[in-house]
Structure 1
């Protein structure tokens, strides 16, 4: 009898230790190791939305974008009470994952949400990607607007990224030509 009551306690203790290790790995950028532990824990426990978002982020950093979107798209709506910074990153990782899968329509709302939550110095990449999404859709005015926003933010917050700034200028010129030729 004592063995039965002790056994679940030992198992819970081991799982608590695993969770602590998974969080440590996650916070130190060891995403594959964290993912391994989180997925093992998920088999036996109903993880909370934050930990599911962590799993999505791990998949994002492992370039497994399908799994990243699977976890992040389900976790994000449940994380509205978390800090804007944290929500912003989850939205960005989800948007980037959809973008890398070529699912631009699904990426767009996550980039847009990210823009409403993040700091100004984090906005250039999102505007740049949104510009691409509109360009792929041949929505030249919207693409132009977003590339112009990206340019402003890159010049202000990342002036050393000269190649990207030059590329954005070329994209702006290309959009202007498309608009003029309509």
Structure 2
């Protein structure tokens, strides 16, 4: 728990310094800063920490990945479940890029029709999927696989052939 809190403190301070430098340089007013992670921070220690005195009330029993958008044109706190596939469409919406050619695989959290569920790395449904059809669930699971391959294979940058071939072959991590 101490290591995790030390890391969180360091990260908060580093982001604060970064934002301060953007202010000092005069570009913060025209800059949207997106902070997210590629996975949640506690991994295998989560269940143990949930049961400790220090972890109760601080550590969630759920695995979530952070998404913080600083200087967003829309001020809000989104408390519902969203998936990694929803980040890209949300950023397009926030940036006003409604006519962008590829809108991603998920739904923007600004879309009033977005359902509050996601698929986790084990292909389990997280959130409220009560009114989600079987077809939507299949699409969401396929979208998670494609999104994971985009991230793992760095399709938007340079490709790591060995990881891509393994991901494509197994369909999973």
Q: TM-score, normalised by structure 2?
A: 0.31
Structure with greater helix percent: 1
Structure with greater strand percent: 2
Larger Rg: 1
Q: TM-score, normalised by structure 1?
A: 0.30
